[in-house]
Amino acid sequence: MSHRIVSVSVRDVRFPTSLEQHGSDAMHTDPDYSAAYVVLHTACGLRGFGLTFTLGKGTEIVVLAVEALADLVVGKSLQDIVKDFRGFYRLLTSDGQMRWLGPEKGVIQLATAAVLNAVWDLWARAEGKDPEQIVSCVDFRYITDVLTEKEALDILVGAQEEDRMMKEGYPAYTTSCAWLGYSDQQLKQLCTDALKSGWTKFKVKVGANLDDDIHRCRLIRQTIGPNNTLMIDANQRWDVAEAISWVTSLSEFKPLWIEEPTSPDDILGHAAISKALAPLGIGVATGEQCANRVMFKQFLQASALQFVQIDSCRLGSVNENLAVLLMAHKFQVPVCPHAGGVGLCELVQHLILFDYICVSASLSNRMCEYVDHLHEHFTSPVVIQNAHYMPPKDPGYSCEMLESSVQRHQYPEGDTWKLLMNK
């Protein structure tokens, strides 16, 4: 059967999460969780679904970037793409004119991720499999000085305790309880409810005001108790010296890590922060806005992070994330992916399962972020049981949205936005 791609459609889908301060942090005070939502249409009728996550304004720019990439995709057959997936990845990221706009950073990078996510979904649906079951796509050009192709292929041998993962799931932590814009009463109630549901790992947004951070961290630590895990996340708010001083002031609450303490591009700054906080037993986590696998390579070489945070819509889909997983394994740094937003949990569950089954075979210091928002808009929403991601059962990359939800939240013509704009 021919799986020739005949058209690419992309829509701007936004959810007004800012109305209730969901997703609010020190740098993003009023996010509307959104996505550039891509559908690949084939001659035989099979479709592939993909997306990239955004925060409202600017989604229309990513949509235009996807449309600019569409000419590189239309007319290609799925069979030819997967026969040389590395070549197809390079086609999208190495166009002689568009690469000047930044194929491995910025808007073009987000568009590339959306398109590649849709290709992976199409391939998985055609094969009746999950993306983590297919691994012939690594681009080794920029990782060979830390990991040879032979070493990488030696890692990717056989399954490791797949049966255990299918029964017990992958450990998760929650960010849903402690957005920066939530009131004290809301924080306490959400943490209490989460404890009753089996959650033991909690992340708190910090970085806007030190006194407020001390107050909120004390409240949450008192609520969750001394033995549960607490992480803090500054979303790039500080410079290096400020980060060290601020986190030192919060060290009494025993955070496992400080996430994104400074600019996501400042590798040596993260190294300095890591070195300064090590005596306090606090690690550095970053990566959700890391531009590409080359930067991850340098973060690892510089011992600039203790927890790798990949993102399913920031790098070039499975292709590039797989390279990062292999490098993290080489440096023995645990991977704890970023998730949440629109569809990030649905996508990243495949990456953590692949990491466990085919790369790390370890759950030591490993967990995946979970945010309890907007899953009801997907045809195969992520399943959480007792604070664990359960393996998905449906073929594909799990990011197909309900058409009714897409129509209702399409910006600006969807009914949700028409109603809000008329108020």
Domains and CATH numbers, the chain: 5-127 (3.30.390.10), 152-404 (3.20.20.120)
Tally the C-alpha atoms within 13 A of residue 177's C-alpha that lie toward its C-beta: 30
Instruction: Tell me if residue 28 is catalytic.
Output: no
Catalytic residue among 329, 338, 377, 409: 338
Q: Cis peptide leading into 412, omega within 30 of 0?
A: yes
pTM check: above 0.85: yes
pLDDT of residue 157: 60
Exposure b/e, 295-324, CB count within 10 A at least 16 = b: bbbbbbeeebbbbbbbbbbbbbbbbbbbbb
* Total Cβ atoms within 10 A of residue 401: 22
Q: What is the DSSP string of 311-380?
A: -TTTSSHHHHHHHHHHHHHHHT--B-----TTTHHHHHHHHHHHIIIIII---TT--EEE--SSGGGBSS
Q: What is the pLDDT of residue 185?
A: 95
pLDDT score, position 103: 64
Other C-beta atoms closer than 10 Å to the C-beta of 266 total 17
The confidence score (pLDDT) of residue 369 equals 97
> What is the CB-side half-sphere exposure of residue 305 using CA atoms within 13 A?
30
Choose the catalytic residue: 201, 203, 205, 350: 205
What is the predicted pLDDT for the residue at 231?
98
What is the predicted pLDDT for the residue at 24? 82
d(CA 96, CA 89): 14
SS3 396: coil
Q: Tell me, yes or no, if 375 is annotated catalytic.
A: no
Per-10-residue mean pLDDT for the chain, 423 residues long?
91 94 85 96 96 95 96 95 88 86 80 95 86 58 71 66 72 92 94 96 96 96 97 96 98 98 96 98 96 93 98 89 92 96 94 88 93 95 95 91 97 95 83
Q: What is the pLDDT of residue 161?
A: 58
Q: What is the pLDDT of residue 207?
A: 95
For residues 66 and 51, give the distance between their C-alpha atoms in angstroms, rounded to a whole number.
10
| Cα–chain center distance at 115 | 16
| CA–CA distance, 60 with 57 (Å, rounded to integer) | 7
pLDDT recorded at residue 135: 54
